[in-house]
Amino acid sequence: MRTGIFPGTFDPVTQGHLDILRRAGSVLDRMVVAVAAGYHKDTLFSLEERLDLCRRSVGDMKRVEVKAFQGLLVDFARECGASAIVRGLRFVSDFEYEFQLALMNRRLVPEVETLFFMPSPEYSFLNSSVIKEVARLGGDVSGLVPPPALEALKGKFRA
């Protein structure tokens, strides 16, 4: 069984994340959404909230698990028996950083490949930071995040 790891902070999970996850799931047998526990970014949502939002957002997807991880992603990939790390590439500017990560991961664990997926055009501009900023300023992000994330954002930014 070919398992892929889809890592991120998912703060919050977006339709762009789910788009990549669905398409990666059509190529791989099993997907693990790896929610980063300790990260260099300040998050709006706690780890428990991000795990819950991801689980509720992928609830209808078959062969998808949501787990927290910390430390090296490649160590977590080994623990999960993964053969691939799934990453999204929105812009050319993403490529340089992602390429460096992929090469380092390959050096650390050569048997785990990195697979890059481009988002569908309607989600190519999305990232969680933009979603949070628009939601914080009262903008409508419905359709850009799954319903659980939309409700959670409304709860965080309610005046």
CATH number at 73 reads 3.40.50.620
**What residues make up the domain containing 127?**
3-157
Distances in whole angstroms, Cα of residue 146 to Cα of each of 10, 18, 59: 12, 9, 11
CB within 8 A of 20, min separation 6: which ones?
A: 6, 86, 88, 117, 119
Catalytic residue set:
17, 41, 90, 128
97 vs 91: CA distance, rounded Å: 11
For residue range 29-86, what is the model confidence (pLDDT) as tens digits? 999 999 999 766 689 999 999 999 999 999 889 999 999 999 999 999 999 999 999 9
Q: Is 43 helix (H, G, I), strand (E, B) or coil?
A: coil
Please tell me whether the overall predicted TM-score, pTM, comes out greater than 0.85 for this model: yes
| Domain tally, the chain | 1
The Cα–Cα gap between 62 and 102 comes to 27
